[in-house]
Amino acid sequence: MVWVLIRNVIYEDHSAKTFNRPEWKNLLVNLKKNKNKIDILLFTKWDRFSRNTGDAYQMISTLRRLGVDPQAIEQPLDLSVPENKMMLAFYLAIPEVENDRRALNVIYGMRRARKEGRYMGSAPVGYVNKSYDDGTKYIAPHEPHASIIKWSFEELARGTFNVMQIYKEATRRGFKKSRSLFHFAMRNPIYCGKMFIPAYKEEPSQFVKAVHEPLITEQLFDEAQAVLDGRSRDYKPKMVGETKFPLRGFVLCPSCGRLLTASTSKGRNTYYSYYHCISPCKSRYAADTVNTALLNELKKYMPRKEALRLYAMTISESFHLLSNNIQREKAKIKAEISGMEAKLSNARRLIAEGKIDDDDFRELKSEYVNGINDLEKKLVTLQVDAANIDDLLDHGIEKLLKLDEAYKRGELYDKRKLVAAVYPENFTFDGYALRTARVNSVVEIIYVINNELDKNKKGQIKNKFDLSCEVGVAGFEPTTSCSQSRRDTGLRYTPNWYLFLLVNIKLLI
């Protein structure tokens, strides 16, 4: 009878691919401390010891130097017998081969799924992992990040703001991921419905069309990439630092034509802020002077109070014109949802009557449920808050068109967005006022109303808005307008600037 003293029992749940396992490391430290005091190390099978032949032989040598003999309970081997080493190689090689084969099957399976357009792994930001009734996995848009990602691509493609500015605004809107993840998302073609498959052995890398719902179009993605790569001609890198420099990146140097940067320098008792050019150009202007010049420029675009009613009517009509298409699309989607729900109800009736089997019902149910879910997601994206736009304009149209007041109240991001909307091109500062080559057409129309039409011409009354430009309602005098709203008001004619404003007023709102 042989008596065996068991010193310790160890439970290990990590993979045997390597010896980089927590419990094994602790055991090896203990064996080194008790060298030649432990005779044997028992485990169930050799594949529980290791699934890597090379690492296994090296560890066996290490254990023997410590006076420990490794032994499998279910596959015992006397390693002092040379022929048993062949069996040891067999026991160690078989698990390694199984691991390698399983790894290859996983690689080929994932590549096949990607070639079919199915996204594998955790869903990217803006999407969520889901499964169909048959177990097939897919990704679907997930709010609010889906809308934020779409908005970010649109802003990036415009070229008005850089990625860091867009990230800060996205964070304010509810984006809760890291900055590095946001940068990665702006480069990820998954959002336009394309997937990149890297090269593998003799197979070249390629792009495939994904089966999930894209958040943006391929054209929008390409435009955003052009901005990121600096290939877009319209792209102007407008860097923003402190709030005292809202015009950094908008103002051109009058001497050399380069964009002015900005900085703050310390004087004897205080700090001074300047917009300035870079060396060797010496142009430099006080930041307060340039900012005040912009405010003075924006004050020119104040509409006459007599014209506010006309602006309100124009914006209201434009809003309803733009929202009518959305309402029609919503009605169409709701009709499709009702149709699919009716088909699903009919399928339940057929299976209750025994006219179809369970497999057919599951297939039909999966098709209709997924279709309803997709339509409901589209319906959510079409939600428009149309609550009393007319009441809002009655009380807010005057504030809406006061550009200087909107500029002063806005945050840094809002200020720069307003400047970019009013001035499509950069402007120069001559030391006294801002000069620009072109102004937004809608804003330019407002300026003409306030200046050109207000001139007192010979034989005319100065305040022409005091004169009525309306005639009686239809029936008193025939009207020529094709708009119902103008038929109701009885406008005699439709000015060209009014039609232009009707089409482009959305740039202001």
Coil, strand or helix: which one is 288?
Answer: helix
Q: What is the pLDDT of residues 446-505, one digit of tens each?
A: 655 455 444 454 545 444 444 444 444 444 444 443 444 344 433 433 444 444 444 344
Token duo for residue 33: 């401390």
Residue 182: band (very low, low, confident or very high) from pLDDT cuts 50, 70, 90: very high
Q: What is the pLDDT of residues 421-461, one digit of tens each?
A: 788 888 888 778 887 767 777 666 665 545 544 445 454 54
pLDDT surpassing 60 at residue 240:
no
What mean pLDDT comes out for the span 154-177? Answer: 87
Token duo for residue 247: 């015009």
Q: What is the pTM of this model?
A: 0.43
User: Of the ranges 112-121, 174-183, 365-374, 471-480, which one carries the lowest mean pLDDT score?
Assistant: 471-480
Q: Where are the beta strands (DSSP E) in 360-463?
A: 427-429, 434-436
Q: What percent of the chain has pLDDT over 90?
A: 6
> Which ranges constitute the DSSP H helices of 116-159?
145-158
The C-alpha angle with vertex 302 and arms to 296 and 308, in degrees rounded to 5, equals 170
Q: Of 3.40.50.720, 3.40.50.1390, 3.30.830.10, 3.50.50.60, which CATH number belongs to 22-112? A: 3.40.50.1390
Omega before 280 cis (within 30°)? yes
pLDDT surpassing 70 at residue 329:
yes
C-alpha–C-alpha distance, residues 31 and 27, integer Å: 6
What superfamily does domain 127-229 belong to in CATH? Putative Large Serine Recombinase; Chain B, Domain 2 (3.90.1750.20)
In sequence order, what are the beta bridge partners of 71?
42
Domain ranges in the chain? 22-112, 127-229, 305-394
Q: What is the pLDDT of residues 272-313, one digit of tens each?
A: 888 888 878 888 888 888 888 888 888 777 666 656 677 777
Burial of residue 237 (CB within 10 Å: 0-12, 13-18, 19+) is exposed
pLDDT at 116: 82
Q: What is the mean pLDDT of the chain?
A: 76
Q: What is the pLDDT of residues 397-410, one digit of tens each?
A: 666 667 777 788 77
Whole-angstrom distance between the N-terminal and C-terminal Cα of the chain? 95
What's the one-letter identity of residue 75?
A: Q
Kindly write down the DSSP assignment for every residue of 23-44, as one continuous string: HHHHHHHHHHHTTTT--EEEES
pLDDT surpassing 50 at residue 396:
yes
